[in-house]
Amino acid sequence: MIYMSSKNKTRSVSRFNQFRQENQYIFVETEDIYKLKDESIWGKGDVHTINYLKGMDRSGTWLDLAAGDGRYLPYILPHADSLMASDIDVVALRKFRRMCLQWNRDRVDLIVFDITRPFPVINNSFDVVFCTGTLHYFPPSVVEKIVSEMDRVLRIGGLIIFDFAYKVERVLPNSDRHFIKPQIAHYDNLPEPLLFGRLRNHFEIEKTTSFFCDDLMQTHGYIIKGEFALIVAHKIQS
Ligand SMILES: C[S@@+](CC[C@H](N)C(=O)[O-])C[C@H]1O[C@@H](n2cnc3c(N)ncnc32)[C@H](O)[C@@H]1O
């Protein structure tokens, strides 16, 4: 399912507008996506996540949820036989596509959908479901639904790889002026019961916690910092 070719552009935009009207849980940065042409506007990526991806040995079908502009793409593509990259933002996906080298575009499908709704994907269809930099935006009831959908579309033997940021602060350098994004959920701690509740019975879960501090002055006008967990959940039964 590819909604990104030029003949589908109108359809993508109207789907996006439809989602926008129906759903308050859409956090896009469309206007800023091309502030950096060949790099991601969300920074270079978390070092633990990158190291995990570099060291893993897992081929098969991958689903990247809320994939953004492709900062983890170079670390995913060596593993993925095929990759479905999804986002609600057509512009981000268009940049994602540019980040794929010509030879590997054939292995990548791009699809516009809202991850707070049931994913338009059949059960047990992926070996790896990947979601970074996004889940902490949503309130608990929505996170719970997203995790449940990740589980639904993952095969037994597969992996869910996701991160979760908490105690997040957005500040100006040399200042304690904070930027609050009121529409975005704020978590003071890693909400383990929420994230692992559904997974606990049929997954083995690995968790790595760390601190992060990303200078997003060029693109967002602030530094973002906080605590961060990388979660890798292995599905052992359904
Ligand atoms: C901080 S970016 C992270 C992008 C990418 N996963 C990464 O780590 O570089 C959050 C992404 O979530 C997407 N997004 C926001 N709300 C969404 C929704 N309801 N459904 C799908 N994607 C959404 C945004 O368009 C954006 O690309």
Instruction: Tell me the CATH number at 170.
Output: 3.40.50.150
Q: Residue 114 falls within a domain, yes or no? A: yes
* Best probe residue, ligand 1, of 18, 25, 28 (max atoms within 8 Å of C-beta): 28
pLDDT in tens, 114-158: 999 999 999 999 999 999 999 999 999 999 999 999 999 999 999
Q: Residue 83 falls within a domain, yes or no? A: yes
Q: Residue 126 falls within a domain, yes or no? A: yes
Rounded Cα distance, 185 and 118, in Å: 20
* Residues spanned by the domain of 108: 6-235
Q: Structural domain tally of the chain?
A: 1
* Best probe residue, ligand 1, of 21, 69, 116, 134 (max atoms within 8 Å of C-beta): 134
Bridge partners of 206, per DSSP, are 232
What is the pLDDT at residue 1?
Answer: 38
Q: Residue 117 falls within a domain, yes or no? A: yes
What is the pLDDT at residue 222?
Answer: 87
Q: How many residues are listed for the chain in this entry?
A: 238
3-state secondary structure 177-218: CECCCCCCCCCCCCCHHHHHCCCCCCEEEEEEEEEEEEEEHH
Q: Residue 164 falls within a domain, yes or no? A: yes
The rounded Å distance from CA 66 to ligand 1 centre is 4
Spell out the alpha helix ranges (H) of the chain. Answer: 9-22, 47-55, 73-76, 90-99, 140-153, 192-196, 217-220
The answer to whether the beta carbons of residues 128 and 161 sit under 8 Å apart is yes
Evaluate: CB of 49 within 6 angstroms of ligand 1.
Answer: no
Identify the segments of the chain with pLDDT beneath 50.
Answer: 1-11, 13, 16
CB under 8 Å to 125, separation ≥6 — which residues?
Answer: 61, 63, 153, 155
What is the pLDDT at residue 23?
Answer: 64
Evaluate: CB of 133 within 6 angstroms of ligand 1.
Answer: yes
Q: Residue 128 falls within a domain, yes or no? A: yes
Query: In Å, what is the CA distance from 28 to each residue of 19, 68, 126, 217, 229?
Result: 12, 9, 25, 18, 22
| Index of the ligand 1 atom closest to the CA of residue 29 | 25
Q: Residue 1 falls within a domain, yes or no? A: no
What is the pLDDT at residue 35?
Answer: 87
Radius of gyration of the chain (CA): 17
pLDDT in tens, 66-87: 999 999 999 999 999 999 999 9
* Best probe residue, ligand 1, of 64, 88, 181, 212 (max atoms within 8 Å of C-beta): 88
The answer to whether the beta carbons of residues 93 and 112 sit under 8 Å apart is yes
